[in-house]
Every structure is written in C-alpha cells, then in structure tokens.
Chain A
Amino acid sequence: MGKKTIIPFGPQHPVLPEPIHLDLVVEDETVVEAIPSIGFIHRGLEKLVETKDYSQMVYVIERVCGICSFGHGWGAAASIEGAMNIKIPERAEYLRTILHELSRIHSHLLWLGLLADAFGFESLFMHCWRVRETVLDILERLTGGRVIFSICKVGGLRKDIDNETLDEIVGILNGIRKETKELTDVFLEDDSVKNRMCGVGVLSKEDAAELCAVGPVARGSGVYQDMRMTNSHGVYGELDFEPIIEDAGDCYARCKVRIRELFQSMDLIEKAAAKIPDGPVSVAAKGNVNGEFITRIEQPRGEAFYYAKGAGSKFLKRMRVRTPTNMNIPALVKTLQGCDLADVPILVLTIDPCISCTER
C-alpha cells in the first residue's frame, strides 16, 4: 500500500482557462480520489436582476463567459422573449443559428489549442489559435466584437447582416477548411498525441448517463443527446442536423466528437446561409415581463438551461443560468479516479471546463 498524499491542482494552472481547484488524493502517482472546489470566479451576476431591467440583463448574462458568450446572450434573450410571448422573425432565428455555429467553431478551436498546450505541443496550440483568429475576425465584422458580441436583444437582433456578407463568410470558412483539416489530422493521427489520449479517462455509457454528463462528454461515451435535435432553439430542424456520437468514451473519442462538430458547424453555416429568408430581424418588445420561461441551448460545451421569471415590473424576479460544465464536473471526478497524475491536466481539459459559466 502506497502512501497517500494530497496534491492541490489549481486554481492557477497553465492548462486551466478558468480557476477551479481540485484536491487530488494521490497514492504513488495514481490518483485515488479528486475533490473539487469552485467559487474563485463567482461574481453574483444573477443578483443584478434586482437593479437592471430585462433588456439590460441580456448584456449582463452575455458576460457570464467569454468563450460561450453568444450562447448566453441568445439564451437570456430567448427565455425573456418566451416569458413575454414574443415571436421573433424567421431571419433573426437563422442569423442567431449562424452566429452560434460560428461561436462553436471558435470555441472548439480554442479548446483544441488548449489541449495541445496541455501535452506540451506548443506549435500545434499556436497554429490552432492562428486559424481561430480568422473566425474571430469574421465575428468582429458581423457583430462588432471579437469576444462579447452584444448583438442579441429581446425581440431579435440589434443589427442585420446582409446576404452578400453571409456569402463572403461562407467563402472565408471554406478557405480555412483545408488548413483546419491538416491540424485536426494531427490530433487524430499523430502517434505521440494518440498515446496521450487513447484509453485515457474512459467514461462508460452508463456512467455518463447516470452522472448526467452533457455535451461532447456524453456524446463521446455513446449517449445520444444534443439539444439541437429538439427544435427548442434556432432552425436546426431545417438544416438536416444529426448529432455526432462516438462510443469509446475516452479522451480520444471526445476529441474526435469536437473535431467532427467543428466541420459540421461549417456545413451548417453554409446550409443556413443558402436557405435564409429575407425580412426584418427584430420585433419591438413592449411592456413588462409577466410569467416564466425555460430555454435550453446547445452550447459548445453541452446543454445550457436558462430560466427567466418576471412578475409584471421591468425588473425580472429571477434569472437562472445552469451551464454545462456544472453537470460535467461529477463526470470529471469519476474519470479522475484511478488515472495517472500526469494525465490529470488532459482529463480536466477534456470536459472543456468553463468555470466562469459554472459560477457566474
């Protein structure tokens, strides 16, 4: 029997985009148990419903996270629109879908870069982020911001995006497809990378379902779950969407799910840009919020849940955001049991931790 030691992981760690603390109970280089602590980035944003009216709350919720910011803006706006019984125009739904898929591409490229950094492959990290810059430039051109877009509002979008611009965007994305494929091939085919990922951190399908894992963590273990199938948001129903499922349940499978989703997003944007109807992009939102509504959005990290409740004044009574990493942390703790100490950074990254989403 080896001696047990406790090694603290985080909140500062080179692989972590956001601070989370794990106490790793280690016995001779094997992690026996992992005890998570969160709370380093809690800002109390949900309490701001008391002082900011509902249209200003969309800006607040958008700033919950920088990586998944469009999804948060969409979820907040959609849940308030549902509570006020506002139906937004078709063109606005299409544009929101296109922007969200662009956001997914940038998020997955960011994650791929961080994963490469986690196993020390810095040049691959830099190349992934270089390709991501093209996507961020596209987003800046469409919305005005690289990270925080401020384009969703209650009632639709604040600005329209014309069809010529959309066609140009599709052209730019097609231009980076080849380069992206070369980079993702490194993740999937290179021997040294595969050695770090195959067979590491296996999460069985039963465990994934029981621990309520969401997003690519669940889909990498064979659980057939993707909010985009449910037609609860966006126009995915008209774009022939099929979720991407892998069965192995290890880090390699989760990486493969995200890479395939990246290319699938590029295809979805192309299809949506071809089918987008003309028309207005917003309706005026008059009056106060009276009622409650739930929206579920498939963020790049999984299912995010937005609840808005209003009681007749311009201030909402409650705005609750439940983000995907919140649900993936138990799955993380399970995969950490029995792994090597050197695999801990890879495993923590493989759930795509977005702790500022978790803590708001």
Chain B
Amino acid sequence: MSVKVRRIKVLIVEDQPIAAMVTHAMLLELGHHADVAVDGKDALEKYPNSYDLIFMDIGLPDMTGIEVTAEIRRLENSQKHTPIVALTAYTDQELKLACRAVGIEEIIHKPANRETLKEVIVKYCNDKSILTFEK
C-alpha cells in the first residue's frame, strides 16, 4: 500500500552543505521540489516564495532557527501557517520548549532518513488536494 502525496515545495534551512545536500537529495527522490537557504537571512529572503513545508535547522550562523521561525510566524500574522519542522542535531529539552513557543510542529533529529522525511510530508502536507502523484 502506498500513500499518494502531491508534489510539494519545501524549503530546507541548513548552513552545513553536507546536511543540506543529503536532505535535498532525499526530497528530490521523494518527488518534491526543494530549495536551500544557508542562514536565517537567506531563509527570510526565500520565504515569500511560499512553501508547503519548511525544514528548519536550529544552529544557523546568523540567528537560531527559533528566531527565524518567530519572524516567519510574525510575517504570517495568523493568515497562514506554514508547517515548520525542526531538523537539528540539538537534542535537549530546552529546545522542545522553545520550538513549542514559536509554533514549530515537531523536532526531527539528525540524521534523518528518507522514510522519516516522507512521514513528515504525509503528516503535514497530505491535504484534500491530493493529485495522483506517487513515488
């Protein structure tokens, strides 16, 4: 049995090139479109492109993924809510609280495998407008 998910547009916010490369490759394999932002400033510049899902690294060079998310939520102003999932190597409890406070849906720990990414996409992007695109 396979789940049919529409082709979505994902923003990967990640400063480490290797990590970005792997996540990007996995998302392309799953049949989706993915852009990469290399820091907070880049993420906020790319955000207006309108994404179905954002994978947010927390440890960025210019600001934390928490601050980037807070700014995105501010820009959204309750008019929309882009699913933002933290994809991070930070595993502590303090991060959980901070993520909840800014409206991050959940935390995925690095390394994430393709199945985990797929589950996240199905969970947050599997809405009624499903096309019969399948991978």
Do A and B assemble together? no
